[in-house]
Chain A
């Protein structure tokens, strides 16, 4: 069969390397700056290591609720003044919470950078959490919890996380919590949570965009440099125990048209030297070319699902490897059997050299796209900081991937993927009988 012709076009590849400027302020806050001139705009990615793992025991969802109201008033500005500031400048602002981080990501025009950095610092350092604002945001969160409970995709994934990590581990808790818990959280609880967990030692401010490094550092220093709060007590986070048996649960949702399958394992921590082998293995298993081996089997060859993929979640401790598929109810058992078969094949026969090469080329080659936009660079640098990867990680990552051998990847598959110890949650119009 004819193959692809490959005539060459002259290109202008340049050496990669972000080389951002990084400094630690006297109070422990980290500031990372990368000047770019793509557009006259700046993205700020400010994160505090105070994610959902900091939820008080018995109160999952507290940190999420805090993030919903944290930007609705500060000691210096009312919610109305903040709203005017944001809307008047056409700013894009997102506040989110993950297992380990509270993140505020803001993109503004370059001329507005100083004003917005100052506002973000106020929001993080001295939120006032007004009662009336809390009441409205609580209502929004309760509504969102209802939407999640009506979503087979969310129910299956949350159910799997609880099955994998157990109800006593923060990774097993729902980020938004439950309606009953959220209704019971008051302003004083959130002020206490903020005081306990927000500190400069936990903060990293990444600035990427059309602003000179010296200017950005000066503005960041003025915004965060005077914040003086002692470091919080670390949250104890036990290592999860890996299941020795295969487990399966069904969440019937008979009002839905399609069933979602969440199938997974506890994998490795981001700091584990084997992470890179797992990263490559996961790419070949469930990502490369629209779902990897799983996509080829379940979507392409059997036509059972529009969406099927796997994801390796990088975390501070052992994160999950999640396989997800949306299928019609009559195909649930067949889809699970196909996943079992693909995992068994991967364990017993391993990847081919070609598959490893393709996945490696993809991950290395995708770096320029990852780093194309200000927001992309800011997110990359923030993650590098969170996981202690260094400011030169964008340069080193390619060699780290090249060093992984086929034996490493196949060892990762044998370690991570055992259908006999899989945890599986099915949510949707599915009758387990």
Chain B
């Protein structure tokens, strides 16, 4: 049976661990007759070795292809019969699957996730048809210059750590990976002791726990997956990548190696990003769908209000290991990338040399505080954040977001600004040649 209440990171989140190692987090939310189930696996593209890049994502696709007890043609419709939504995503640290539906579909959602954890089929024909689907997904991404530049910049910024390769994988690996590669990867990482199950909704916690035990309790634990141990060496000089490719618009991206979520500099850097580009929050699932309040942000006023860029954005995402802080600008038609780069780097140098003001600190905290409220407006969003933070660090981080931001001091922000130094920087340019 479940070992209940190991810890109580939040008065509202119930934490339990089954005997097979599956960690379960439940939060009751009675605002609508809905339930959201997310099953997280601690496997992402950082766990892939050369030759297998893209395996985590491809495995995610394969896990919608039928199980021992769910026919292939029913997997995708099984939740929609309840009016529910379902999805999955893979990123650098984790892979997750979700269903949100009316609460009477809870059993079905749990059943699907238990099947997915233990009994996916990996029929060779399905592996082959999905190979071309994923290559199509890759090509679709390459149609977007901004996305293409992002991929090239990341690969340049890292020279050793596997965060360097794209989650979708490199084309040659997608062409050569076999069914056995994929199935072996699946069996290695899809075990209860490498998973976190999150359930939020209009439900009763104790009843939910009993259902979880019913569906997942018999799935055996597996050997603890091996983890890559590479640490990215400290960057010792600026790196640059320039893409000369036909296109209508020029893009600039600048990336700095940034602290992981458990680093004390993470939240000060998040505040600094709010000062530079407007507060987005930290919810990968929803934060970036709405425009941030950024009209008085430093880089917006320097670039967009002056008409040299049509957009500027910043992205500092919580990650398990040190990743990147990105700044992305789109050049207005007729503006050179050199002009934008000059202004942007000058602004960054200013903030590095002189820091931010107390008024800016207060405003950034208010913005982030509002974002955290907005980010909790649906059970899917709440469940996403609980699982996301538990996968990369601890659910305690989610529970304490507001407090951590409020505790950020001016000195801490100004210390974090020292990350924006030249030797820690990678510059990426998508610079289409002149037409004609």
B377 touches A361 (CB 8 A): no
- Is A244 at the interface (CB under 8 A from chain B)? no
Most central of A107, A367, A368 by chain B CB within 10 Å: A368
User: Which residues of B have CB within 8 Å of A149?
Assistant: 248
Give the CA-CA distance A108 to B279 in the complex, in Å.
14
Contacting B at CB under 8 A, from A371-420, are 371-375
B143 touches A12 (CB 8 A): no
CB distance from A401 to the nearest CB of B (A): 11
Q: CB < 8 Å: which of A4, A290, A362 contacts B69?
A: A4
User: Which residues of A have CB within 8 Å of B297?
Assistant: 87
- Is A140 at the interface (CB under 8 A from chain B)? yes
- Is A257 at the interface (CB under 8 A from chain B)? yes
Interface size class of B (residues with CB under 8 A): 35 or more
B249 touches A150 (CB 8 A): yes
Query: Could you say which of A123-131, A160-168, A302-310 contacts chain B?
Result: A302-310
Q: If A87-B278, A147-B248 touch, does A9 touch B293 (CB 8 Å cutoff)? A: no
Contacting B at CB under 8 A, from A225-270, are 255-258
B85 touches A369 (CB 8 A): yes
- Is A151 at the interface (CB under 8 A from chain B)? yes
Q: CB < 8 Å: which of B81, B111, B247, B294 contacts A150?
A: B247
Q: CB < 8 Å: which of A7, A147, A303 contacts B132?
A: A303
B304 touches A372 (CB 8 A): no
Interface contacts (Cβ under 8 Å), in number, total 238
B33 touches A328 (CB 8 A): no
Q: If A11-B104, A150-B145, A363-B83 touch, does A326 touch B333 (CB 8 Å cutoff)? A: no
B369 closest partner in A (C-beta)? A90
Q: CB < 8 Å: which of B129, B306, B332, B377 contacts A302?
A: B129
Contact with B along A128-165 (1 / 0, CB 8 A): 00000001100110111011011111000000000000
User: Which residues of A have CB within 8 Å of B100?
Assistant: 369
Q: CB < 8 Å: which of A94, A255, A364 contacts B245?
A: A255
Contacting B at CB under 8 A, from A156-209, are 179
- Is A57 at the interface (CB under 8 A from chain B)? no
User: Which residues of B have CB within 8 Å of A374?
Assistant: 377
B207 touches A91 (CB 8 A): no
A306 touches B84 (CB 8 A): no
User: Which residues of A have CB within 8 Å of B128?
Assistant: 303
A358 touches B81 (CB 8 A): yes
CB distance from B76 to the nearest CB of A (A): 4
A300 touches B129 (CB 8 A): yes
A86 touches B295 (CB 8 A): yes
B371 touches A326 (CB 8 A): no
Most central of B30, B101, B140 by chain A CB within 10 Å: B140
User: Which residues of B have CB within 8 Å of A89?
Assistant: 293, 366, 370
User: Which residues of A have CB within 8 Å of B133?
Assistant: 299, 303-306
User: Which residues of A have CB within 8 Å of B379?
Assistant: 372
Give the CA-CA distance A369 to B291 in the complex, in Å.
23
A72 closest partner in B (C-beta)? B295
B291 touches A92 (CB 8 A): yes
- Is B409 at the interface (CB under 8 A from chain A)? no
Give the CA-CA distance A179 to B70 in the complex, in Å.
53
B245 touches A362 (CB 8 A): no
A41 touches B363 (CB 8 A): no
Q: If A257-B142, A258-B140, A371-B32 touch, does A91 touch B370 (CB 8 Å cutoff)? A: yes
Q: If A10-B207, A87-B294 touch, does A306 touch B134 (CB 8 Å cutoff)? A: yes
A93 touches B246 (CB 8 A): no
Contacting B at CB under 8 A, from A36-90, are 36-41, 82-84, 86-90
Q: If A109-B370, A366-B83, A369-B100 touch, does A146 touch B249 (CB 8 Å cutoff)? A: yes
B78 closest partner in A (C-beta)? A4
Give the CA-CA distance A358 to B154 in the complex, in Å.
43
CB distance from B34 to the nearest CB of A (A): 6
- Is B31 at the interface (CB under 8 A from chain A)? yes
CB distance from A245 to the nearest CB of B (A): 30
User: Which residues of A have CB within 8 Å of B366?
Assistant: 88-90
A10 touches B136 (CB 8 A): no
Contact with A along B54-81 (1 / 0, CB 8 A): 0000000000000011110110111011
B32 closest partner in A (C-beta)? A372
How many residues on the A side are at the interface (Cβ–Cβ under 8 A)?
A: 86
Give the CA-CA distance A366 to B379 in the complex, in Å.
14
Q: If A83-B296, A90-B369, A146-B249 touch, does A8 touch B107 (CB 8 Å cutoff)? A: yes
Contacting A at CB under 8 A, from B131-155, are 131-137, 139-140, 142-145
Q: If A5-B111, A9-B107, A11-B104 touch, does A361 touch B33 (CB 8 Å cutoff)? A: no
Contact with B along A96-118 (1 / 0, CB 8 A): 00000000000111000000000
Give the CA-CA distance A302 to B131 in the complex, in Å.
11
B107 touches A257 (CB 8 A): no
Give the CA-CA distance A358 to B310 in the complex, in Å.
44
A36 closest partner in B (C-beta)? B31
A254 closest partner in B (C-beta)? B246
- Is B188 at the interface (CB under 8 A from chain A)? no
Give the CA-CA distance A36 to B296 in the complex, in Å.
31
Give the CA-CA distance A256 to B432 in the complex, in Å.
13
- Is B195 at the interface (CB under 8 A from chain A)? no
CB distance from A252 to the nearest CB of B (A): 12
CB distance from A114 to the nearest CB of B (A): 16
Most central of A11, A288, A307 by chain B CB within 10 Å: A11
- Is B337 at the interface (CB under 8 A from chain A)? no
Give the CA-CA distance A37 to B304 in the complex, in Å.
37
Give the CA-CA distance A151 to B148 in the complex, in Å.
13
Q: CB < 8 Å: which of B83, B132, B246 contacts A364?
A: B83
Give the CA-CA distance A89 to B295 in the complex, in Å.
12
CB distance from A67 to the nearest CB of B (A): 14
B293 touches A86 (CB 8 A): yes
- Is B203 at the interface (CB under 8 A from chain A)? yes
User: Which residues of B have CB within 8 Å of A136?
Assistant: 304-307
User: Which residues of B have CB within 8 Å of A361?
Assistant: 80-83
B82 touches A41 (CB 8 A): no
B103 touches A84 (CB 8 A): no
Q: If A89-B366, A90-B369, A303-B131 touch, does A12 touch B31 (CB 8 Å cutoff)? A: no
CB distance from A132 to the nearest CB of B (A): 9
B291 touches A94 (CB 8 A): yes
Q: If A87-B367, A93-B291, A302-B129 touch, does A143 touch B331 (CB 8 Å cutoff)? A: yes
Apart from A8-B104, A40-B373, A375-B377, 15 more pairs, CB < 8 Å? A4-B74, A4-B108, A7-B107, A11-B103, A41-B377, A87-B296, A143-B331, A144-B310, A147-B249, A150-B248, A303-B129, A358-B81, A366-B85, A368-B33, A368-B34
Q: What are 23 A-B interface contacts by the 8 Å CB criterion? A: A11-B33, A13-B103, A36-B31, A39-B376, A87-B293, A87-B297, A89-B366, A91-B293, A93-B291, A94-B291, A109-B373, A140-B304, A142-B332, A142-B333, A150-B248, A256-B143, A289-B77, A303-B130, A303-B131, A306-B134, A361-B82, A362-B83, A369-B85
Can you list the 9 inter-chain pairs with the closest CB atoms, starting with the nearest? A365-B83, A90-B370, A303-B129, A83-B295, A255-B246, A289-B76, A306-B137, A90-B367, A258-B139
